[in-house]
Amino acid sequence: MTVLLTAIWPSFAKIPNHIPAGEGITTAGMCGFVLYFLLQLPFLCIPYTKVQYFFAFKSVIAPIVFLAVFGDTLRKAGGSISQSTVISQPTLLSGSTLAWAFLGSKSCSVIVSSFAFL
């Protein structure tokens, strides 16, 4: 939500931070969190029986979209996994640094989060 608000109004990123740096969140980030919570709260009150067809539809569409994004990524990477420089180049990290880089990557969590509640 913070990124969305910053994209619409760039001045949103310039809100003075009044939260201590050790807390791990900024004033703009907290505003984004509260706005997201308030926007999704009404949808949590909808009974699941009213949205079951939406989730049935999504369970068909989500794998199709996933495969389409995967195919587009392969196309941009050179046509196949074996020809991709992402796969063939050596890693610059090793040991626990490599493990934490993999587990902490935001791109993986973003991809997984969109399919997590299916």
The radius of gyration of the chain from alpha carbons, rounded to an integer in Å, stands at: 20
Band of pLDDT at residue 116, cut at 50, 70 and 90: low
Once rounded to an integer, what is the mean pLDDT over residues 9-24? 89
| pTM listed for this prediction | 0.50
Answer yes or no: is pLDDT of 115 > 70: no
CA-based torsion, 2, 33, 25, 12: positive or negative: positive
State how far the Cα of 108 lies from the Cα of 118, in Å rounded to an integer: 17
Q: What is the pLDDT of residues 50-103, one digit of tens each?
A: 888 888 898 899 889 888 988 888 787 777 666 666 667 777 778 888 777 777
Q: Mind giving me the DSSP string for 46-100?
A: S-HHHHHHHHHHHHHHHHHHHHHHHHHHHHHHTSSTTT-HHHHSPPS--HHHHHH
Q: Which residue has the higher pLDDT, 101 or 28?
A: 28
